[in-house]
Amino acid sequence: MQDNPFFVRWQTPFEAPPFDRIRPEHFRPAFEAALREHNAEIDAIASNPEQPSFVNTIEALERSGRSLRRVEHVFYNLASSHTNSELQAIELEMAPVLSRHFTAIYLNSALFTRIDQIWREARDQLPDDEHRRVLDRYRLDFIRAGAQLDNAQKERFAQISEKLAILGTEFSQAVLADEQQSIMPLSAEEAEGLPEFARIAATELARENGLDSPYAVNASRSSVEAVLTYAHSRTVREKVLGAWASRGRRGNAQDNRARMGEILKLRLELARLLGYRSFADYRLADTMAKTPAAARALLDKVWAPALLRARQERDELQALITEDGGNFALAASDWRYYAERLRRARYDIDDRQIMPYLSLDAMIAAAFDAASRLFGLSFHPRHDIPVYHPDVRVSEVRRHGKAVGLFYGDYFARSSKRGGAWMASFRDQQSLDGEILPLIINNCNFSKPAEGSPALLNVDEARTLFHEFGHALHGLLSNVRFPRLAGTNVAQDFVELPSQIFEHWFEVQLEHFARHITTREPMPKTLRDKLRAARHFNQGFSTVEFLGSAFVDMDFHSVSDARDIDPERIERQSATRLAIPAEIPLRHAPAHFLHIFGGDGYAAGYYAYMWAEVLDADGFAAFTEAGDPFDPDTARRLYEDIYSVGGTRDYEATYRHFRGRDPRIDALLAGRGLA
């Protein structure tokens, strides 16, 4: 037992996870012990003979499960960031176990009776809004998890939850396996057009896989987009896009199509058990949008101008093909390639000019500096904190000289990491029993450079870095009492506000942090001006690409009759109804749409990025109106009303307090060039 780091107190700085000692075989016994401990804690709360009170029930619940959270946070971060066959086996094994465990808690009648009694009899006597808010959240959490169902319904609810946990894990693992197995060798001729950064990554991938060819790409986004943007060969672009788009539906062992249908049917059944017409109605009842109709209304407002712009862009690209003497119609695999050519022609700018000024280290420094000027943070490298992979870097974060947490940055793609970019935590902030500092991590999938060379980012990747760091700041700046309300534990369509508003400081910081990796000269003003002038370029494509996935997600989860659930048919009907141009594929084809099928995090909620963009565009306009992107008073309100409050306040009210009014969609449309 003493050899297992989960059974002892961690003697590391900040009690950070001792990754140098944690091995896969430690997790099963750690989970087993933590589950036993949590069960005993829950039994003690539910069977407490004393009159239910906030302290002996709600605070006791907040203190329970600490050992389990510690194991979960470490395990699931590793399962996403640096997995292997042992961790994947444990992940599949634990999915139903953990589902049964938490479902049993939420369906515990004695426990819910205590919570409900406190809510009915003592809520108004609680000392402040935060106490009332956490009580409200617990009661609603239990109700939405089936606490008011009868015994037969509870049993079925538990069965559904367990099966969904298994299917979500299988879905995610299948997508990762498909990406790993989709290795496409490229000859020197086939790689023509690829810039140096893409060639370096492709050379390394070929070497890692023992290929005779000089280059190779796989079906990860960083690899695919470089080929689609720069490769001269239409045949190569078609092959790579086909591999990207077909992930999860190739008829192999990783085919996710049957899982999709089963997941959708189970989600609908769960929602109907709880009295909702559809899963979308259930999911959105606890968001800012409240209803699928409200979410669709926003998407509709953006869709019409975006579709118009996308059709104009399509015609412009077709004209470029014709000018080149091409005797073919623009295809989906051509769009990025010809869009990049048109951007170079129209604005005299391309990524190969820009990327030498956007080194990873410089963009990290720019993000850190923005956080310093806005919120008084400073970042100090810590080389004594154990990490799970040599690429991970750690900083101690201080605010006005006082430590507020640790920030882990894991930026490079590898075969053991799932695709995309995300923020997570090894520990969340709270102050229920003294200050507990957060341990926050950002994961990205940037191409790793050759040894000794700097990593370079394109504009989208740099924005992604700022986006995920905005999430990280939401976790690091959390200043709440109760764990249930800490950091990113907020409504789905509010959680993207802190991340998306921080993206605006990417352009703000270019003047001082974009320096050429060789000459160290700052990015010329003419180039920065070109970047800003090109800001709206190809926004029709980008918006339609995103909104198409958001509409399909909503259509999947708005079905009210299980007999109508046929994912491929629904996808086709959505595309037809929306008149999505065939040249613009969905940003996420359903069979690899991890946001909505790899767990239910964004199920019926992919719209949330657009909802939050209304808030972030309108919110950043407050700095524009103040005449200073670092205006102290506006920054103070941003901290006090957005970044530090977690889920302690009503979301509409807290945004209104920050902005002085309700949000308006105008800034979003202007920001995308769709006004």
Task: Assess whether 500 and 399 both reside in one domain.
Answer: yes
Task: Assess whether 581 and 452 both reside in one domain.
Answer: no
> What does the pLDDT read at residue 1?
63
Distance separating alpha carbons of residues 301 and 46, to the nearest angstrom: 48
Task: Assess whether 317 and 367 both reside in one domain.
Answer: no
Residue 657 lies in a domain: no
293-348: per-residue pLDDT in tens? Answer: 999 999 999 999 999 999 999 999 999 999 999 999 999 999 999 999 999 999 99
Residue ranges making up the domain that contains 302: 280-338+538-606
Residue 134 lies in a domain: yes
Residue 155 lies in a domain: no
Look-up: residue for tokens 């069979």? 591
Task: Assess whether 399 and 490 both reside in one domain.
Answer: yes
Neighbours of 330 (CB within 10 A): 23
The answer for residues whose C-beta is within 8 angstroms of residue 168's C-beta and 6 or more apart is: 95, 263, 597, 598, 599, 600
Task: Assess whether 207 and 84 both reside in one domain.
Answer: no
Task: Assess whether 547 and 523 both reside in one domain.
Answer: no
Residues of the chain with pLDDT under 70: 1-2
3-class DSSP assignment, residue 537: coil
Distance separating alpha carbons of residues 623 and 635, to the nearest angstrom: 8
Task: Assess whether 49 and 122 both reside in one domain.
Answer: yes
- Indicate which CATH number applies to the domain containing 528: 1.10.1370.40
- Return the H-helix or E-strand segment holding 453: none
Neighbours of 1 (CB within 10 A): 8
408-460: per-residue pLDDT in tens? Answer: 999 999 989 998 999 999 999 999 999 999 999 999 999 898 888 999 999 99
Residue 262 lies in a domain: no
> What does the pLDDT read at residue 168?
97
> What does the pLDDT read at residue 451?
87
Q: What total of structural domains would you count in the chain?
A: 4
Neighbours of 611 (CB within 10 A): 25
Active-site positions read 468
2-31: per-residue pLDDT in tens? Answer: 699 999 999 999 999 999 999 999 999 999
pTM above 0.85, yes or no: yes
Task: Assess whether 305 and 420 both reside in one domain.
Answer: no
Task: Assess whether 9 and 129 both reside in one domain.
Answer: yes
Task: Assess whether 190 and 322 both reside in one domain.
Answer: no
Residue 640 lies in a domain: no
Task: Assess whether 375 and 322 both reside in one domain.
Answer: no
Residue 638 lies in a domain: no
Distance separating alpha carbons of residues 291 and 299, to the nearest angstrom: 13
Distance separating alpha carbons of residues 241 and 264, to the nearest angstrom: 27
> What does the pLDDT read at residue 179?
85
> What does the pLDDT read at residue 488?
97
- The amino acid occupying position 665 is I
Residue 505, token pair as written in the block: 């400081």
Mean pLDDT, the chain, whole residue set: 96
Residue 412 lies in a domain: yes
- The amino acid occupying position 650 is D
- The amino acid occupying position 515 is R
> What does the pLDDT read at residue 351?
86
| CA nearest to 669, candidates 292, 296, 306 | 306
Task: Assess whether 519 and 543 both reside in one domain.
Answer: no
